[in-house]
């Protein structure tokens, strides 16, 4: 953080020196200003013109121990489980603020009150490894068109995305920013946004309006068709790019135009807007066709500034040569609204002769929300529709793995895929088997293809895997133990953190050689691969790894292999002890010790 960092001490707001008092005064004045300019009462032009200058305030610091870093797939939390505690403890808080915050959570699923107060510019902690800071990049690099597609985005988050790009990108590399409004309904994104772009942003920033809602997939294709720079860089509309973010992305593309690159996606907390570094991980997926984060090979970790081959991308943030994007078939325009396109483009890149890399020296923050604040216009499950299309076009016989988990989708309509199949042939792409063998050999194929899972289970009835460790699973932050919410014999019951009791046999976990966690000798800890936003539950042990495979590894984290996330205490202040899966961030909320 910069020297001007404003430090908040929650539950007390103690400012130790005169300097801090002056900063507080500045904050209060400008906080007021930005609230006027950015509340839900739309305010036109002139006020906004002051924004860029007067809101250059550092981000708020997070109080010591809050669970953070949950992604869009973690549970929708009720207000008492954390939302708002931070504000009521230490910020000026009147009814109007409260309304902005509550409406913000409702419409956007993150803390819009804080977002508005931060304004359109702020300093960010430089989260790069020190080795990155010594790296040099060629001066002559391809120019970039940044494409940002948005639907009903919070005005201040969208503007911070745009201004962070303008503030941290060398002008000669920034060809343009193409904003694609996907037919948003929010008032301030209509005329007011148009006026702001025209009056306050350089002519490099273009605003394209979709006449109907297209979804992010066709939306990005529309954005790309308006772009004329050499490289396309896609960003979500609630991002902040960090120091020297673009050069490390453009360099590998300049070297090989069939290289597609992703920055490391740092975490902007949905509750506090605090920006924090992400661990270096790479993309994978599970047979439910959900994206997940995987640990990177040790050889890659030893070189913290080198590129990392990634089997898949998260989807929202990547850079790709524009002509290559077109040659490789853009996206599948038959996919709607949200979901699946990230795996589709990942498979396509690898299978059709390209490569996908994560660049640890490029850092971009993204607001990870706990739920998606919008649906599809007709209420359809677009993730299933899109996944079906990608399975049928790209996965050959391995689509059976998906249908084994989603039998109800086997006969579901998925539209015409003939053009995509023809394109796969035209591009002479490899088979999915080739992809698994060469790009993602870690992927486990559940209980041998086409063979029923039954023999595995029967086998287990005879011989149970050997227990390696027994004891209570104690969380280091809240000093509570993981137990069944209902009875440990009750199939489907969730788990929660409660007071440890060393006499209670119902708190005893067994960790076996197949990496299962069994409570009281009865049921296995299981996470839904279909809905990883659901909290983990106790289920009958199935013996085929995946959703019941946990690693109790380094840093005491409890890592779930199939969703690629860590078990975390949701709100350390709540007596309810809810736990959830979240992106691994190394905080104490995610540390568990198996104690005898
Ligand atoms: O109908 C829509 N029209 C849009 O323009 C729906 C969405 N959008 C916009 C939206 O405003 C946002 O800017 O599309 C962008 C992405 O939507 P999000 O932010 O709701 O998606 P997400 O961050 O929850 O989901 C991730 O997976 C998606 C699958 O379709 C996309 O690929 C997202 O870009 C992707 N986000 C990231 O990769 C950021 C890191 C998250 C992780 C892991
Ligand atoms: Mn997003």
- Percent pLDDT > 70 in the chain is 81
Long-range contacts (CB closer than 8 Å, 24 or more residues apart) made by 94-100: 96/35, 96/39, 97/35, 99/40, 100/35, 100/39, 100/40
- Predicted confidence (pLDDT) per residue in 544-554, tens digit: 777 888 988 76
Question: In this predicted structure, what is the pLDDT of residue 175?
Answer: 98
User: Span 464-595: which CATH code?
Assistant: 2.80.10.50
93 CA distance to ligand 1 centroid (A)?
31
Which residue's alpha carbon is nearest to atom 30 within ligand 1? 339
215 CA distance to ligand 1 centroid (A)?
10
Looking at the CA of residue 339, tell me the nearest atom of ligand 1: 30
Question: For the CA atoms of 347, 349, 355, 358, what is the dihedral angle to 10 degrees?
Answer: -70
372 CA distance to ligand 1 centroid (A)?
9
Q: Longest C-alpha distance within the chain, in Å?
A: 76
pLDDT at 3 over 80: no
Question: In this predicted structure, what is the pLDDT of residue 591?
Answer: 93
Whole-model pTM above 0.80? Answer: no
Question: In this predicted structure, what is the pLDDT of residue 554?
Answer: 67
Which residue's alpha carbon is nearest to atom 15 within ligand 1? 236
Q: How confident is the model at residue 48 (pLDDT cuts 50, 70, 90)?
A: very low
pLDDT at 453 over 70: no
48 CA distance to ligand 1 centroid (A)?
27
For ligand 1, mutation pick of 73, 216, 382 (most atoms within 8 Å of CB): 216
Looking at the CA of residue 317, tell me the nearest atom of ligand 1: 38
Chain-centroid distance of CA 387 in Å reads 19
* Closest C-alpha to 189, from 129, 252, 237: 237
State the ligand closest to the CA atom of 346.
1
**Domains of the chain by residue range:** 18-118, 464-595
Question: In this predicted structure, what is the pLDDT of residue 531?
Answer: 65
Question: Which of 288-292, 395-399, 514-518, 544-548 has the weakest average pLDDT?
Answer: 544-548
76 burial via Cβ count (<10 Å: 0-12, 13-18, 19+): exposed
326 by DSSP, 3-state: which? helix
pLDDT at 12 over 80: no
Looking at the CA of residue 236, tell me the nearest atom of ligand 1: 13
Question: In this predicted structure, what is the pLDDT of residue 85?
Answer: 34
Q: Rounded to whole angstroms, how far apart are CA atoms 264 and 245?
A: 10
Which residue's alpha carbon is nearest to atom 37 within ligand 1? 316
Residues 6 or more apart whose Cβ sits within 8 Å of residue 364 = 235, 239, 240, 241, 242, 245, 263, 264, 265, 266, 317
Question: In this predicted structure, what is the pLDDT of residue 535?
Answer: 84
Question: In this predicted structure, what is the pLDDT of residue 91?
Answer: 63
Mean pLDDT for the chain overall? 83
pLDDT at 581 over 60: yes
Instruction: Tell me the three-class secondary structure of 231-253, residue by residue.
Output: EEEEECCCEEECCCCCHHHHHHH
- Predicted confidence (pLDDT) per residue in 329-361, tens digit: 999 999 999 999 999 999 999 999 999 999 999
Q: How confident is the model at residue 476 (pLDDT cuts 50, 70, 90)?
A: very high
| Across 147-175, average pLDDT | 98
Residues with C-beta less than 6 Å from any ligand 1 atom: 71-72, 149-151, 153, 182, 213, 215-216, 219, 236-237, 265, 314-317, 337-339, 341-342, 366, 372
**Strand (E) or helix (H) holding 23:** helix 18-38
pLDDT at 248 over 70: yes
| Across 134-139, average pLDDT | 96
Which residue's alpha carbon is nearest to atom 2 within ligand 1? 215
Looking at the CA of residue 215, tell me the nearest atom of ligand 1: 1
582 CA distance to ligand 1 centroid (A)?
17
| Across 64-71, average pLDDT | 26
Q: How confident is the model at residue 365 (pLDDT cuts 50, 70, 90)?
A: very high
pLDDT at 540 over 70: yes
Looking at the CA of residue 149, tell me the nearest atom of ligand 1: 5
397 CA distance to ligand 2 centroid (A)?
32
581 CA distance to ligand 1 centroid (A)?
19
Ion ligand 2 residue ranges (Cβ < 5 Å): 236
Question: In this predicted structure, what is the pLDDT of residue 155?
Answer: 98
């Amino acid at each position: 953080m910069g020297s001007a960092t404003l430090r908040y001490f929650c539950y007390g707001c103690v400012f130790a020196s005169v300097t801090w008092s002056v900063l507080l005064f500045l904050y209060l004045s400008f906080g007021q200003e930005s609230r006027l300019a950015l509340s839900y009462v739309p305010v036109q032009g002139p006020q906004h013109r002051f924004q860029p200058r007067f809101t250059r305030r550092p981000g708020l610091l997070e109080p010591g121990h809050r669970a953070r870093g949950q992604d869009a797939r973690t549970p929708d939390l009720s207000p008492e489980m954390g939302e708002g505690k931070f504000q009521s403890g230490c910020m000026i808080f009147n009814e109007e603020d409260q309304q902005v915050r509550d409406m913000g959570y409702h419409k956007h699923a993150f803390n819009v009150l804080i977002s508005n107060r931060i304004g359109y510019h702020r300093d960010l902690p430089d989260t790069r490894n020190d080795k990155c800071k010594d790296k040099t990049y060629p001066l002559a690099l391809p120019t970039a068109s940044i494409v940002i597609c948005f639907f009903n985005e919070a005005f201040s988050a969208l503007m911070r995305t745009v201004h962070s790009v303008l503030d941290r990108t060398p002008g000669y590399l920034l060809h343009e920013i193409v904003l694609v409004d996907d037919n948003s309904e929010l008032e301030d994104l209509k005329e007011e946004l148009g006026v702001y772009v025209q009056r306050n942003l350089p002519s490099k920033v273009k605003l394209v309006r979709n006449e109907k809602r297209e979804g992010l997939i066709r939306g990005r294709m529309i954005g790309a068709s308006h772009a004329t720079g050499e490289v396309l860089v896609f960003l979500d509309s609630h991002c902040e790019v960090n120091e020297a973010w673009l050069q490390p992305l453009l360099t590998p593309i300049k070297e090989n135009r069939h290289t597609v690159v992703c920055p490391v996606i740092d975490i902007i907390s949905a509750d506090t807007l605090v920006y924090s570094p992400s661990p270096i991980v790479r993309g994978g997926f599970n047979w439910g066709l959900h994206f997940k984060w995987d640990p990177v090979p040790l050889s890659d970790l030893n070189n913290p500034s080198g590129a990392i081959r990634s089997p898949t991308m998260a989807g929202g943030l990547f850079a790709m040569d524009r002509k290559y994007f077109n040659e490789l078939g853009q996206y599948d325009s038959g996919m709607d609204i949200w979901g699946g396109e990230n795996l589709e483009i990942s498979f396509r890149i690898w299978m059709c002769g390209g490569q996908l890399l994560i660049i640890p020296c490029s850092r971009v923050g993204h607001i990870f929300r706990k739920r998606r604040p919008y649906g599809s216009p007709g209420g359809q499950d677009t993730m299933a529709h899109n996944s079906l299309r990608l399975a049928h076009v790209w996965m050959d016989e391995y689509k059976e793995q998906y249908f084994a988990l989603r039998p109800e989708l086997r006969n579901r309509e998925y539209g015409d895929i003939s053009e995509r199949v023809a394109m796969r042939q035209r591009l002479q792409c490899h088979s999915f088997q080739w992809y698994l063998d060469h790009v993602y050999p870690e992927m486990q194929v559940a209980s041998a293809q086409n063979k029923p899972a039954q023999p595995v289970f029967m086998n287990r009835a005879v011989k149970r895997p050997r227990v390696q460790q027994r004891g209570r699973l104690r969380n280091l932050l809240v000093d509570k133990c993981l137990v069944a919410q209902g009875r440990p014999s009750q199939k489907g019951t969730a788990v929660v953190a409660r007071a440890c009791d060393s006499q209670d046999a119902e708190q005893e976990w067994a960790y076996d050689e197949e990496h299962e966690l069994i409570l009281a000798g009865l049921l296995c800890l299981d996470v839904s691969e279909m809905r990883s936003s659901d909290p983990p539950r106790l289920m009958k042990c199935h013996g085929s790894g995946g959703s019941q495979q946990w690693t109790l590894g380094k840093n005491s984290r409890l890592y779930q292999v199939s969703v690629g996330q860590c078990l975390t205490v949701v709100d350390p202040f709540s007596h309810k002890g809810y736990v959830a899966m979240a992106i691994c961030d190394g905080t104490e909320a995610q540390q568990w010790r198996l104690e005898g």
